[in-house]
């Protein structure tokens, strides 16, 4: 949970709501119930937590700690690809110690957002036999806590990371070799997010390569990756996916993963159309269905 | 027809055979007969022209002019995306004046490679009712001869250009808007080549977005775009495609274009696996078929 101050070619916003947990859970909640485990400062708007609960997002795992909420300041250049971080104030995140309630420890689907891999493992230590575990990471942890990150990777089914991060983590410069190398680190499913070029899924069946949904109104890419992950996991949860499907019914497993990736691409295409998660809050199911169908037509070969 | 001297992270070659005409025709000739209209200098190896004719590529339209063959010197950085031109010696190209024989003027499929748009029009003035005309261009002509290029575009069915060029030509920064703007300039079919991310096809039916075939051995991207175009046009020629299909049977037209784009992506994936067109000369039909089927599986959603 975060405040973001962002400048893009389309405009500028100060202290808007953001953070992986927000983008992920708002996107995922369209498909399935979500519980957030996280931390905010005393400056965090209670109205927003209330609003999340009204969307059936359980915020009982959100600690309110003394101090300020995490604050990211960043900007994007004309091509809207990589964000430039201008400042990061960890604030209450500095002493975050995730403690899961009994309900949370029984969560069937677990997404470990991009935090310190030691904390990711602390969460995993507390969950009991989840059906599916996915994680995200970023350059900061790959460069600074590689050994801990490798331990996390050995314990997850799915990793999603962006292309530059995939190269950094794998020490490869080729997408095929990078995905294969990361797969060897543990996760049987590797998702490489490629921004405006979509996403690539690698499983034991090989590659699925999905394009981004091309939208004419790109305002701010912040949260695209997290909302991608939210729709992806939400889709799998709603379908009841279980990691043992990979062995029991590999065709169905692959089919679910591919459709979940497309759901992620579609969600991300809405996220980027406005600052913060403004566009997501106005989303109707029919909007999602329409774009998913259009995207399917854009890749179809008869 | 050119000599290329190229440095990439994988190695270095000096004065190897290259040029749009070579890459295009070698790729296209796998699908359909090809006639080259072009110019070489006295230093160009006659053996190579003979070798092309043995592949059923008619080189009677290749003039041998006094002087040296066009020579491009370039290099690629670690990410193998944009080429950096170190020097360009136009040589015999400086006074190239394409004159078509009767046979050439009756060519049913015409591809105007990346030359001065005034020369592209000169060629078009000489051809009689082709079934399909495609063209390529580049930054140099977009920046330097925009009015002439616009005249060419008004007379072609298909344009293929890379993403940066599409933004430059359209003065847009969004792929959707760029493709739409270029379509309004004339060509009903716009192909945007995206390097390692594949290609995007825009027709009256909307977008088709094809990924690049991911290969683990990328040696040199030179010629990828031209061999893409060669396979694309060769595929359409072999299928007997005609521009009037767009009206008469739009479903079939779209299907042919999409498969032709995939054929282009597959061909380009072989081209980049070695310097010059070395890999293409060893290509078996079964190699192409295998990759095309694999690529189809990589985009398929059941």
pLDDT in tens, A242-258: 999 999 999 999 999 99
CB contact under 8 A, B298 and A176: no
| A173: closest chain B residue by CA | B79
Judge residue A11's burial from the number of C-beta atoms within 10 Å of its C-beta, 0-12 exposed, 13-18 middle, 19 or more buried. exposed
What is the tens place of the pLDDT at every residue in A43-75? 999 999 999 999 989 999 999 999 999 999 999
CA-to-CA distance for A3 and B78, rounded, in angstroms?
36
Ranges of residues in chain B whose predicted pLDDT is under 70: none
A215 contacts on B by Cβ (under 8 Å): 176
Q: Phi/psi class of residue A198: alpha, beta or left (left: φ > 0; alpha: ψ in -120 to 50)? A: left
Nearest to A70 by CA among A137, A13, A18: A18
| The predicted structure's pLDDT at residue B52 | 97
Candidate from B9, B215, B301 with C-beta closest to A176: B215
CA distance B192 to chain A (A): 13
| The predicted structure's pLDDT at residue A281 | 94
Following CA atoms B239, B245, B246, B249 in sequence, which dihedral angle do they give, to the nearest 10 degrees? -100
Please name each of the domains of chain B with its CATH number: 2-299 (3.40.1190.20)
Tokens of A49: 């937590």
Instruction: Name, in order, each residue with C-beta under 8 angstroms of A102's C-beta and a sequence gap of 6 or more.
Output: none
Tokens of A169: 């983590």
CB contact under 8 A, B301 and A209: no
Query: What distances in angstroms separate CA B199 from CA A102, A193, B28, B121, B192, one per listed residue?
Result: 49, 18, 18, 26, 6
Which ipTM was obtained for this model?
0.93
Following CA atoms B26, B30, B31, B34 in sequence, which dihedral angle do they give, to the nearest 10 degrees? 40
CB contact under 8 A, B216 and A176: yes
A79 pLDDT higher than 90: no
CB contact under 8 A, B208 and A299: yes
Task: Give the angle subtended at the CA of B215 by the CAs of A293 and B229, to the nearest 5°.
Answer: 70
A79 contacts on B by Cβ (under 8 Å): 173
Task: Give the angle subtended at the CA of B152 by the CAs of B150 and B158, to the nearest 5°.
Answer: 105
CB contact under 8 A, B215 and A299: no
Q: Pairing between strand A2-8 and B2-8? A: unpaired
Q: Phi/psi class of residue B135: alpha, beta or left (left: φ > 0; alpha: ψ in -120 to 50)? A: beta
Candidate from B175, B211, B218 with C-beta closest to A214: B175
Candidate from A174, A175, A255 with C-beta closest to B302: A255
Q: In what order do the strands lie in the sheet with A2-8?
A: A11-18, A2-8, A71-76, A83-89
Query: What distances in angstroms separate CA A198 from CA A181, A263, B146, one per listed residue?
Result: 21, 11, 32
Helices (H), B93-223: 102-105, 117-126, 139-144, 146-153, 163-170, 175-184
Strands (E), chain B: 2-8, 11-18, 34-41, 57-65, 71-76, 83-89, 109-112, 132-136, 158-162, 189-193, 199-203, 206-210
Candidate from A207, A216, A296 with C-beta closest to B214: A207
Q: Which residues does residue A57 pair with via DSSP β-bridges, in sequence order?
A: A34
CA-to-CA distance for A135 and A229, rounded, in angstroms?
9
Q: Which residues does residue A8 pair with via DSSP β-bridges, in sequence order?
A: A11
Nearest to A8 by CA among A150, A153, A172, A220: A220
Strands (E), chain A: 2-8, 11-18, 34-41, 57-65, 71-76, 83-89, 109-112, 132-136, 158-162, 189-193, 199-203, 206-210
Q: Which residues of A lie inside 8 Å of B (Cβ-Cβ)? A: 9, 78-79, 173-177, 194, 196-198, 200, 206-211, 214-216, 218, 255, 258-259, 262, 294, 296-299, 301-302
Instruction: Name, in order, each residue with C-beta under 8 angstroms of A106's C-beta and a sequence gap of 6 or more.
Output: A127, A128
B94 DSSP 8-state letter: G
B272 contacts on A by Cβ (under 8 Å): none
Chain A interface test: which of B207, B217, B235, B269 (most A C-beta within 10 Å): B207
CB contact under 8 A, A299 and B298: no
Nearest to A236 by CA among A25, A30, A31, A35: A31
What is the tens place of the pLDDT at every residue in A3-48? 999 999 999 999 999 999 999 999 999 999 999 999 999 999 999 9
HSE-up of A17 (CA within 13 Å, CB side)?
21
CA-to-CA distance for A96 and A102, rounded, in angstroms?
19
B198 contacts on A by Cβ (under 8 Å): 209
| The predicted structure's pLDDT at residue A78 | 84
Chain B interface test: which of A10, A291, A298 (most B C-beta within 10 Å): A298
B208 contacts on A by Cβ (under 8 Å): 298-299, 301
What is the tens place of the pLDDT at every residue in A130-188? 999 999 999 999 999 999 999 999 999 999 999 999 999 999 999 999 999 999 999 99
| B197: closest chain A residue by CA | A197
Instruction: Please state at what angle helix A146-153 crosses helix A117-126, rounded to 10 degrees.
Output: 30
CA-to-CA distance for A76 and A84, rounded, in angstroms?
6
End-to-end Cα distance, chain B: 44
End-to-end Cα distance, chain A: 44
Judge residue B14's burial from the number of C-beta atoms within 10 Å of its C-beta, 0-12 exposed, 13-18 middle, 19 or more buried. exposed
SS3 for B38? strand
Percent above pLDDT 90 for chain A = 95
Query: What distances in angstroms separate CA A3 from CA A19, A45, A90, B184, one per listed residue?
Result: 7, 11, 11, 42
| The predicted structure's pLDDT at residue B79 | 80
| The predicted structure's pLDDT at residue B147 | 97
What is the tens place of the pLDDT at every residue in A194-223? 999 999 999 999 999 999 999 999 999 999
Q: In what order do the strands lie in the sheet with A109-112?
A: A109-112, A132-136, A158-162, A189-193, A199-203, A206-210
């Amino acid at each position: 949970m975060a405040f973001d101050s962002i400048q893009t070619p389309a405009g500028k916003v100060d202290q808007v709501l953001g953070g992986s947990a927000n983008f992920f859970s708002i996107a995922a909640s369209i498909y399935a119930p979500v519980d957030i485990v996280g931390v905010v400062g005393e400056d965090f708007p209670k109205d927003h937590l209330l609003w999340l609960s009204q969307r059936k997002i359980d915020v009982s795992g959100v600690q309110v700690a003394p101090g300020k909420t995490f604050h990211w300041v960043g900007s994007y250049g004309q091509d809207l690809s990589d964000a430039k971080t201008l400042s990061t104030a960890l604030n209450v995140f500095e002493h975050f110690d995730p403690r899961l309630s009994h309900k949370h420890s029984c969560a069937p689907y677990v997404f470990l957002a991009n935090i310190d891999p030691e904390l990711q493992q602390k969460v995993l230590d507390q969950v009991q036999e989840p059906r599916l575990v996915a994680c995200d990471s970023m350059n900061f942890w790959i460069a600074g806590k590689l050994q801990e990150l490798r331990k996390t990777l050995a314990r997850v089914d799915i990793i999603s990371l962006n292309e530059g991060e995939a190269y950094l983590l794998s020490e490869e410069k080729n997408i095929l070799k990078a995905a294969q190398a990361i797969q060897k680190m543990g996760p049987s499913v590797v998702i490489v997010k490629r921004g405006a070029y979509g996403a690539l899924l690698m499983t034991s069946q090989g590659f699925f390569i999905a394009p981004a949904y091309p939208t004419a109104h790109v305002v701010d890419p912040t949260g695209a990756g997290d909302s991608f992950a939210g729709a992806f996991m939400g889709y799998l949860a709603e379908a009841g996916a279980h990691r043992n499907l990979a062995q029991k019914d590999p065709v169905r497993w692959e089919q679910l993963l591919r459709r979940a990736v497309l759901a992620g691409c579609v969600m991300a295409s809405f996220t980027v159309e406005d600052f913060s998660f403004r566009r997501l809050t106005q989303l109707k199911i029919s909007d999602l269905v329409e774009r998913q169908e259009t995207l399917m037509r854009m890749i179809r070969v008869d």
